[in-house]
Structure 1
Amino acid sequence: MTAALDRAESLVAVMRPPSHASAAHAGPAPLGPTPADAASRALLGVLAEPGDGTLGALVASLGAPAAAEFIASERTVGEVFRAQPGLALDPGARAVEDGLDRWRQRLAPDPFLRSLEQAERLGARMLVPGDDGWPDRLDDLGPHAPLVLWVRGDPRLVAARPSIAVVGARAATGYGEQLALETATGLVDRGCTIVSGGAYGIDGAAHRAALRRGGATVAVLAGGPDRLYPQGHAALLGEIVERGAVVSELPCGAAPTKWRFLARNRVIAALSDAVVVVEAGWRSGALNTAHHAASLGRPVGVVPGPVTSPASAGCHRLLREQEAVCVTDAAEAAELLGRGGETMLEPQVDAALQIDAGTLSGGVSGAAGRSGAPGSQAVPAGLRDVEIRLLDAMSVRAPRSVAELAARAGLEPSRALGALGTLDALGRVRRTTDGWLIRR
């Protein structure tokens, strides 16, 4: 991987943001991330799933270049500890050993370099911690923070303030879309950047309102920056690239999956000064975003709907069970910006609203989609995050081995095998002579 990292340094150099430091300033220029740091973070972003807390802690302990060199080598965790006796690896040796099983199976220089070459062709910009344009709010995610951000469009908007996330149901009603349009329009008029996920329904309405009003909007993707998903919003997302910013922590070529949509929600929450849920079902992914926001100290506003509407059941749930703020228009939504830290949701019992307590396994727990649609987030009863990730990696037609499934899902092979056994017992998968399939 050494040669690949050398090549990566030259590729990322043209995608890095210019420093704001002026040559006219006296004294030395401020230190920023080195090319080696940026290239190493790009590699690590290929090896791990979003929000991998073990890798985040390892990078915090060793630095990105040393962490990448360690993973790409054949060194053991014990050798690292012996070489640096004073080193405190926050995840612990066992967690790092499990992480190596996940990350090393994805080590391949050619796909890594192809992802960088594709990003260069797209004109994507690369942001890493320490850059002038890096949104410091992401640091609130701790070890779950993105290692790198890929931006198509204006990278300055990613750190713009104030910003408010407007999120909600994909299967939105006319009532919900109208309120999303009015709320986003009013927030733009008040100088806010609108952050959302680019999905159908409420997300799309919020983005469109911002664009029509001539305001700033940021769409956070669940796949690579080359995957403008959903396809039905390719024109909308293309317009956001031209007039706003499309952001992803995943490399080019990475497909959107149910798991990655849920992990993406933490980025939407962290990039925003407040979150407004316009319309959401009882187990909607928008509730997952609201919980992430609350856990980060971001105020959460909720637009109420008709009490007979299932599309607003999740909104009413937040209002009834948590300390979310009822908002009915843009003026009340804007008031959230003065409530930082005051509107904290209590920890949830529902898995759809929780951050995974097993932070060393990497990622955010939550729900998979309805009818198998990657962008949907209704919770399948009884499934854990590891099982959701495996189903994301599986096919109903193409058998895949345990090793291939583990690599696709970003799991240790032993953990993937155990989860396959559970899914088999539940009747969700079947084993063939060639590998594993989703049971029809």
Structure 2
Amino acid sequence: MRIELTPAAARAALSGVRDDDLEEADLMDAFARLVWSVVVEPGDGVAGRVVEEWGAAEALRRLIAGHPLQTNGIDASDLAKGLSRWKPRGDATAVRAATESARRTGARLVLPDDPGWPGRLADLGVHAPFVLWARGDVALVADEMPTVAIVGARAATAYGEHVAAELAAELASAGVTIVSGAAYGIDGVAHRSALHVGGRTVALLAGGVDRPYPSGHAALIDATARSGAVLAETPCGTPPTKWRFLARNRLIAALADTTVIVEAGVRSGSLNTAAHAAALGRPLGAVPGAVTSASSAGCHRVIRDFDGSLITGAADVRELLGLTDAPTLSFDETRTDEMTRVLDAMSTRQSRSPDEIARRSGIEPQEVRGLIALAELSGQVLERADGWRRALSTR
């Protein structure tokens, strides 16, 4: 391997992508993790076990020097195969190219000890990423943030796109971070809907964060980076491949408290994400469709074979998240007929003025304003800069 493992080399590599004003041990660990992210493919469990055993910096020193890397729990033949995979990729030029591209893109290197690192990734064990490369705010998937993965078919139907939009918008409006993979179809709708309501959304890419994929979603991915976050474990400059898409799916499942499959055929890649969520023991849901629809066959399989919950709306997802402590309404006790009409004239996604609510409800504007004030006190409506919205708990 042709990599110089010195503090000077580490500072040069980390400049612009990471704070390099660190104690030497932390500096070398950060640099070593950067190098490991270049040397290995995503989810390499042998590399993960080696780094877990020796530490990132010491394992890299041994790899460069050709010293033994015997590790508990790793068969000698598996370790030998790992070494044959890693050594040809240990090139300072590749590391330099990745960091130069990251600097041009404005990407940052995020490490497991950072405050914003999502602790959920630890559930992946030795298959967890060494680093994350980020455009935007990685703290949107921090542990205290409720997160939902909304994924599904690229060739989505109008029905699937409608359901995905409703779910993403309502959940994002309630403060839930929407995680997806930026693909065409369901993924793209989920990101757009979250952005449309001013919510939080995070895109996980299969290649580098400097290479928006698909290219037709470059503007959407840029918008996600500005208002949310775009993340990848592969270094900048890495092209997406079929294997990297499958490996990326484990991150989507791990970063989400709950995964929802909106629409999927029997061979959809979304089922791979569902399998990862099930393996991690995370709540899993799927939206049903017509039994004659090939586009929903995968969802029905999730419900049948993966013990997935049947999802008919955002309330079902909130229940999977454990967000059931929001105030609820009793039709008989807390609603008058006029209040019912006012609430029915409002939307959970789009703010409306009192005059527009009056027009839709058929109630005199001054009376509408009084009812809105009462509804605000009970938490049934929310005021926004451009008007009023109905709280999700009133659905």
**CA RMSD after TM alignment:** 2.1
Q: CA deviation at 1:338?
A: 2.2
Task: Provide the TM-score with structure 1 as the length reference.
Answer: 0.70
- Aligned pairs for 1:224-303 (under 5 A) are 224-303=208-287
1:338 to 2:322 alignment: yes
SS in 1 for 2:156: coil
Aligned counterpart in structure 1 of residue 128 of structure 2, from 145, 148, 151: 145
C-alpha separation between the residues in 1 aligned to 2:258 and 2:24?
Answer: 29
1:7 counterpart (2, 9, 20) = 9
Q: C-alpha separation between the residues in 2 aligned to 1:210 and 1:249?
A: 23
Q: Answer yes or no: is the 8 Å Cα contact 1:57–1:91 preserved in 2.
A: yes
**Using the alignment, how far apart are the partners of 1:208 and 1:46 within structure 2?**
31
Alignment match, 1:89? 72
Letter of the 2:307 counterpart = E
Identity score, percent: 51
The whole-number CA distance in structure 1 between the counterparts of 2:295 and 2:7 is 48
| Unaligned 5+ runs, structure 1 | 20-28, 82-87, 340-440
1:156 Cα deviation after fit: 1.6
Match of 2:51 in 1: 59
* 1:322 corresponds to: 306
Letter in 2 for 1:258: K
2:63 partner amino acid: I
Deviations 1:176-201 (A, max 9, x none): 00000000011112210000000000
Query: Take 1:5 and 1:277, find their aligned partners in 2: how far apart are those partners?
Result: 46
8 Å CA contact retained: 2:20, 2:27? no
Distance 2:259 2:19 in 1: 28
Q: 2:178 aligns with which of 181, 185, 194?
A: 194
> For each residue in 1:159-211, what CA deviation from the matched residue of structure 2 results, as whole angstroms up to 9, or x when unmatched?
26100000000000000000000000111122100000000000000000000
Question: How many angstroms does 1:92 deviate by?
Answer: 3.1
1:407-422 pair list within 5 angstroms = none
Q: Give the TM-score of the pair, scaled to structure 2.
A: 0.77
Corresponding residue SS for 1:172:
coil
- Are the aligned partners of 1:302 and 1:319 in contact in 2 as well (CA < 8 Å)? yes
TM-aligned CA deviation for residue 252 of structure 1? 0.9
* Structure 2 unaligned spans of 5+: 324-395
Between stretches 194-203 and 293-302, larger displacement belongs to 293-302
1:426-437 matches, within 5 Å, as none
Q: Could you tell me which residue of structure 2 aligns to residue 167 of structure 1?
A: 151
> Which residue does 1:179 correspond to in 2?
163
Is the 1:170–1:199 Cα contact (8 Å) retained in structure 2? yes
Quote the offset at 1:269 in angstroms.
Answer: 0.4
Contact 1:17 1:125 in 2 (8 A): no
Is the 8 Å Cα contact of residues 278 and 306 (structure 2) preserved in structure 1?
Answer: no
CA contact (8 A) 1:17 1:126 kept: no
Offset, 1:94: 2.4
Shift of 1:313: 0.5
Contact 1:162–1:273 (Cα < 8 Å) also in 2: yes
Indicate if the aligned counterparts of 2:150 and 2:168 stay in contact, CA closer than 8 A: yes
Show the counterpart of 1:391: none
Give me the whole-angstrom Cα distance separating, in 2, the residues matched to 1:310 and 1:289: 19
| Deviations 1:361-410, CA, capped at 9 Å, x for gaps | xxxxxxxxxxxxxxxxxxxxxxxxxxxxxxxxxxxxxxxxxxxxxxxxxx
Residue 72 (str. 1) matches residue 67 (str. 2): no
- Work out the CA distance in 1 between the residues paired with 2:128 and 2:172: 27
In 2, Cα distance between equivalents of 1:112 and 1:227: 17
Q: Kindly state the Cα deviation for residue 9 of structure 1 after the two structures are TM-superposed.
A: 3.1
1:34 is matched with which residue? 26
Shift in CA distance, 108/271, structure 1 to aligned 2, threshold 3 Å: same
CA contact (8 A) 2:206 2:248 kept: yes
Hey, what does 1:116 align to over in structure 2? Answer: 99
Q: Using a 3 Å threshold, how does the CA distance of structure 1 residues 156 and 17 change in structure 2: closer, same or farther?
A: farther
| CA distance in structure 2 between the aligned counterparts of 1:269 and 1:32, rounded to whole angstroms | 35
Task: Please report how far the alpha carbon of residue 126 of structure 1 lies from its aligned counterpart in structure 2 after TM superposition.
Answer: 1.1
Cα distance in 1 for residues equivalent to 2:36 and 2:192: 34
Q: Which structure has the higher relative contact order (CA within 8 Å, separation 6+)?
A: 1
**Residue 407 (structure 1) aligns with:** none
Work out whether residues 17 and 99 of structure 2, in 8 Å CA contact, stay in contact via their aligned partners in 1.
no
Q: In the comparison of the two structures, how many residue pairs are matched?
A: 320
Q: 1:33 to 1:140 in 2, by over 3 A?
A: farther
Aligned residue for 1:432? none
Deviation at 1:294, TM superposition (A): 1.2
The residue identity in structure 2 corresponding to 1:180 is A
Assess if the C-alpha contact under 8 Å between 2:109 and 2:134 holds in 1.
Answer: yes
Alpha-carbon distance between aligned partners in 2 of 1:245 and 1:301, rounded to the nearest angstrom? 24
